[in-house]
């Protein structure tokens, strides 16, 4: 099938059974790929109520039709499963080269079922698929394990791994690839660990068929050159997202001291320019990328190599745990990467523990040592305890929500999460639309689906009207890139125009879709993942969409937005507006009419079968 | 067209491989590219580019006399090539690449497509461009 | 004196000349931040100022004939 690897690989780790089935054309047409395939597969195949770490959960790896082609940055792959962090739909996306590789091996989707009896890794060379012994990799750091396997199998293999945290089932373990790219969020590394899978190694030798070869080459070149010509490309390549922390601080959006503030004193020393001068060894791009944001670093004082820190890491480790030395942030980034922990959640959890200590909710005996913001020893101690699930780490390894429930006191108010997923890098009390984006993200408090801080600045920070519509529009555009297998950063960061994509999509797949058609599919997936959460949790709805009380009860402590708070009334207004515009009921649940309009009749039937009352 | 390298600028994106296979084999398949990118990670953190420098050793060792020279570019005659692999062994740059579906090795013919799409100037045409 | 102003990325949504170039005449030298007030572009939307390939900040005073490129912040990584 044009544009596709053409097959679905299914591996049952319990029985050792494997099969390769052709990708149905109808599936490609209706769900495009990647996030679309994952959402549909998890909906169809997961029984509600299953244990996220049991063999009944499935880890689905999928990429999209533009991956592995000449289209700029076609190197994205997503992993999906029922999330151990949130108990609802989980998904995380990463770059590197393994998305393209799985297509050359002939696969658009790999479904991993059951659990291996022993530590294993998956060996996939075209249609040769093996579950191999991995005891020599078990316990190794995520990057070290990738290096070991690459040395064993050769340069032509692309490999993703988990670190010790994934093996130990820490709820925010990530999947790592290409020595510094991670599918960090919603515990996909945890699910991989629960299946006893340390690594997935793929090598493919096949071609991707293209519907119109000549047009695809011409358009691909035009798109690449369009990106090359962007005048901010040089700036972007020099710093990547590391150019952003100083701006985020100036406008008062930089997570600081476990989100007490949005302004970090001394943040200028986290600037990308300083990072480049001190640490950057090479610019590192993902497959087909015309604007490489990866800044591969050597952190001299600690004698370690690490990719990054990129914005999110600098925000959550730097700002949130109060480090203003970029080399310290680089070192702590390295620790998280080797241990296989999502730096966003890790920075939240550790910042939370530091605040609990400061407030006397945790004492030295419970914590095991004195915990202090800005103290490398505290961070290192906690992150290693978490990865090993020892002492205080065994509680923190479950995420901030669980930890707050255990620690008690007022701590739930400053456990910075939504739906159980820790918050990514923008403090949003002074940015209502961005707050709404976090509140309504299908995964929990994550920026990937919509980010609109600039919109709040441009139209007015206190304005509430119109904000929901902006968030909805973005929630269709940004995840659209997660349907096609491409990075969104060319559009988002260097301003490459969206309208190129439907055209090149036609040349590659032969499917005649307009931009509107593609956005409709994106919206359909959005409704499906919301329905997935409702099928899991009978009481799902509005009450799961609120941020922690810190954001509506406490004011920002310092900086340009000191004194700001987003009232509960404002949150209610935003949610009311959002649900209405989405065609959902007041409790934030998709209505029968909306689902039918999206072509999701099978969802209506299934929800009814589970006793959900659709309005 | 004189292909030259500035490896320090390579970001490992492999666009060179995609366009090479599209242009020379009419296939979207980087494994059929005459250029190869090798990452050296986690340390020292750099990319290596393998591509033919048209030294001609392959032609000298070919027992089938299947590799001819034209304007300084060595080209494999796929009809004559027996797929013996002598040239692959002998190539001092390790730039004669092989694919299971191709009898003849895959070798750079200096078409310059890779240089055209290398924004970073890691692969460039030394006839028209200064090192970046 | 006259300067040219261009913006990139998502800033084009909020810039009067969109993706085009804005010519701006001024009687006395002004900082970029002051110029932004004149053209009604919120300076908080600007992450970096680039003049002739050099990274500058909002306090930079452009010279006659210079082109300033305003780089918008990323949209959330």
Rounded to the nearest 10°, the torsion over CA A130, A131, A134, A135 is -130
State yes or no: pLDDT of C75 exceeds 70.
Answer: no
Every domain of chain B and the residues it spans:
3-125
Residue at A443 is within a domain? yes
Pairing of strands A304-307, A197-203: unpaired
H-type helices in A298-388, by residue range? 311-313, 320-321, 326-339, 343-358, 364-367, 376-388
Condensed to tens digits (0 to 9), the pLDDT of residues A294-333 reads 999 999 999 999 999 999 999 999 999 999 999 999 999 9
Decide: A504 and A66 in contact? Cβ < 8 Å: yes
Which residues of chain A make contact with B31, given a CB cutoff of 8 A? 104, 156, 204-205
**Closest C-alpha among A42, A18, A188, A12 to residue A115:** A12
Last residue of a domain, one of A356, A385, A401: A401
Q: Which of B22, B42, B120 sits opposite A179 (nearest CB)?
A: B42
State both tokens at C22: 């804005």
Chain C contact residues (CB < 8 Å to A): 6, 8-14, 42, 44-45, 47-48, 50, 53, 55, 69, 71-77
Condensed to tens digits (0 to 9), the pLDDT of residues A500-521 reads 999 999 999 999 999 999 999 9
State both tokens at A154: 């050769």
Name, in order, each residue with C-beta under 8 angstroms of A251's C-beta and a sequence gap of 6 or more. A453, A457, A560, C44
Enter the ipTM.
Answer: 0.97
pLDDT at A570: 98
pLDDT at A295: 97
CATH number for A252: 1.10.569.10
**Closest C-alpha among A106, A9, A132 to residue A60:** A9
- Contact state of A228 with B99 under an 8 Å Cβ cutoff: no
Residue at C38 is within a domain? yes
Residue at A469 is within a domain? yes
CA-based Rg of chain B, rounded to a whole angstrom? 15
CATH number for C63: 3.10.20.30
- Contact state of A232 with C77 under an 8 Å Cβ cutoff: no
Residue at A222 is within a domain? no
**Closest C-alpha among A90, A44, A71, A325 to residue A184:** A90
pLDDT at B37: 98
pLDDT at C18: 84
* Mean pLDDT on A214-239: 94
CATH number for A544: 1.10.599.10
Chain B residue closest in CA terms to A508:
B28
Question: Is the Cβ of A569 closer than 8 Å to some Cβ of chain C?
Answer: no
Residue at C77 is within a domain? no
- Full residue range of the structural domain in which residue A348 is found: 242-401
Which residues of chain A make contact with B116, given a CB cutoff of 8 A? 221
* Mean pLDDT on B112-127: 96
Condensed to tens digits (0 to 9), the pLDDT of residues A48-102 reads 999 999 999 999 999 999 999 999 999 999 999 999 999 999 999 999 999 999 9
CA dihedral over A526, A495, A490, A451, signed as positive or negative: negative
Chain B residue closest in CA terms to A215:
B22
- Structural class in CATH, domain B3-125: alpha beta
pLDDT at A493: 84
Residue at C76 is within a domain? no
Residue at C48 is within a domain? yes
- With b for 16 or more beta-carbon neighbours within 10 A and e for fewer, the A557-579 pattern comes to ebbebeebbbeeebbebbbebbb
Confidence of residue B77 (pLDDT cuts 50, 70, 90): very high
Chain B residue closest in CA terms to A71:
B15
pLDDT at A480: 98
Plot region of A217 (φ>0 → left; ψ -120 to 50 → alpha; else → beta):
alpha
- Full residue range of the structural domain in which residue C52 is found: 2-71
Question: Is the Cβ of B119 closer than 8 Å to some Cβ of chain A?
Answer: yes
Condensed to tens digits (0 to 9), the pLDDT of residues A474-495 reads 999 999 999 999 999 999 888 8
Residues A347 and A473 in one domain: no
Q: Residue B67's beta-bridge partner residues?
A: B76
Structural domain count, chain A: 3
* Mean pLDDT on B18-31: 98
Chain A residue closest in CA terms to B122:
A283
Residues 255-284 of chain A whose Cβ lies under 8 A from any Cβ of chain C: 273
Last residue of a domain, one of A401, A418, A451: A401
């Amino acid at each position: 099938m044009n544009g596709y690897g053409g097959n679905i690989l299914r591996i049952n780790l319990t029985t050792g059974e494997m099969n390769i089935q052709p990708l149905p054309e109808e599936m490609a047409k209706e769900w495009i790929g990647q996030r679309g395939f994952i959402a549909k597969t998890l909906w169809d195949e997961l029984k509600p109520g299953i244990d996220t770490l049991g063999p009944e959960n499935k880890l689905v790896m999928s990429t999209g039709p533009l991956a592995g082609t000449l289209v700029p940055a076609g190197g994205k792959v997503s992993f999906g499963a029922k999330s151990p962090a949130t108990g609802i739909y989980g998904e995380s996306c990463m770059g590197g080269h393994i998305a393209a590789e799985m297509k050359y091996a002939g696969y658009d989707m790999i479904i991993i079922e059951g659990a291996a009896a022993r530590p294993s890794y998956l060996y996939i060379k075209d249609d040769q698929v093996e579950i191999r012994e991995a005891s020599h990799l078990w316990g190794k750091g995520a990057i070290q394990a990738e290096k070991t396997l690459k040395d064993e199998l050769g340069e032509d293999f692309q490999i993703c791994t988990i670190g010790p945290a994934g093996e130990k089932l820490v709820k925010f373990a990530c999947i790592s690839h290409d020595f510094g790219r991670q599918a960090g969020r919603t515990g996909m590394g945890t699910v991989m660990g629960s299946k006893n899978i340390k690594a997935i190694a793929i090598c493919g030798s096949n071609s991707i068929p293209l519907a119109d070869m000549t047009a695809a080459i011409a358009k691909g070149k035009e798109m690449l050159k369009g990106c090359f010509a962007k005048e901010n490309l040089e700036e972007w390549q020099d710093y990547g997202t590391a150019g952003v922390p100083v701006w985020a601080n100036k406008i008062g959006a930089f997570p600081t001291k476990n989100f007490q503030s949005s302004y970090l004193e001394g943040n200028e020393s986290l600037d990308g320019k300083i990072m480049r001068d001190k640490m950057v060894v090479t610019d590192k791009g993902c497959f087909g990328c015309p604007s490489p944001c990866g800044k591969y670093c050597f952190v001299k004082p600690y004698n370690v190599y690490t990719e990054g820190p990129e914005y999110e890491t600098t925000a959550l480790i730097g700002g949130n745990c109060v480090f203003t030395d970029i080399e310290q942030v680089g070192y702590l980034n390295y620790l998280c990467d080797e241990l296989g922990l999502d730096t966003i959640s890790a920075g939240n959890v550790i910042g939370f523990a530091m605040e609990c200590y400061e407030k006397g909710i945790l004492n030295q005996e419970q914590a095991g040592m004195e915990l202090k913001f800005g103290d490398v020893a505290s961070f290192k101690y906690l992150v290693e305890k978490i990865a090993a699930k020892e002492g205080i780490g065994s509680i923190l390894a479950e995420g901030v929500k669980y930890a707050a429930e255990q620690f008690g006191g007022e701590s739930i108010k400053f456990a910075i999460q939504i739906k159980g997923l820790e918050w990514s890098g923008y403090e949003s009390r002074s940015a209502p639309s961005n707050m709404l984006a976090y509140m309504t993200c299908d995964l929990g408090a994550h920026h990937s689906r919509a980010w609109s801080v600039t919109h709040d600045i441009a139209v007015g920070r206190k304005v509430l009207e119109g904000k929901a519509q902006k968030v909805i529009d973005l929630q269709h555009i940004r995840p659209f890139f997660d349907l096609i297998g491409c990075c969104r950063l060319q559009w988002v960061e260097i301003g490459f125009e969206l309208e190129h994509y439907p055209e090149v999509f036609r040349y590659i797949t032969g499917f005649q879709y307009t931009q509107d058609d593609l956005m409709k599919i994106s919206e359909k997936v959005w409704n499906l993942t919301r329905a997935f959460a409702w099928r899991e949790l009978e009481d799902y709805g509005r009450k799961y969409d609120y941020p922690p009380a810190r954001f509506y009860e406490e004011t920002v402590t310092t900086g340009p937005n000191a004194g700001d708070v987003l009232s509960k009334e404002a949150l209610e207004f935003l949610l009311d507006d959002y649900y209405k515009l989405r065609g959902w009921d007041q409790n934030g649940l998709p209505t029968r009419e909306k689902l039918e309009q999206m072509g999701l009749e099978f969802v209506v039937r299934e929800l009814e079968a589970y006793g959900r009352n659709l309005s | 067209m004189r292909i030259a390298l500035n490896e320090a600028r390579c970001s490992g994106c492999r666009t060179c491989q995609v366009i090479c296979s599209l242009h020379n084999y009419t296939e979207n398949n980087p494994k059929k590219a005459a250029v190869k990118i090798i990452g050296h990670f986690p340390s020292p953190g750099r990319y290596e580019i393998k591509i033919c420098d048209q030294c001609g050793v392959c032609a000298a060792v070919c027992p089938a006399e299947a590799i001819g020279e034209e304007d300084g570019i060595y080209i494999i005659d796929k009809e004559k090539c027996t797929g013996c692999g002598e040239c692959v062994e002998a190539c001092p740059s390790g730039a004669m690449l092989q694919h299971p579906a191709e009898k003849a090795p895959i070798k750079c013919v200096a078409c310059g497509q890779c240089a055209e799409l290398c924004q970073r100037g890691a692969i460039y045409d030394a006839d028209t461009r200064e090192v970046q | 004196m006259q300067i040219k102003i261009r913006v990139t990325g998502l800033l084009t949504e909020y810039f009067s000349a969109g993706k085009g170039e804005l010519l701006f005449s001024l009687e006395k030298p002004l900082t970029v931040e002051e110029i932004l007030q004149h053209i009604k572009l919120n300076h908080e939307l600007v992450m970096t100022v680039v003049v002739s390939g050099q990274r500058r900040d909002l306090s930079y005073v452009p010279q006659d004939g210079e082109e300033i490129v305003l780089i918008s912040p990323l949209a959330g990584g």
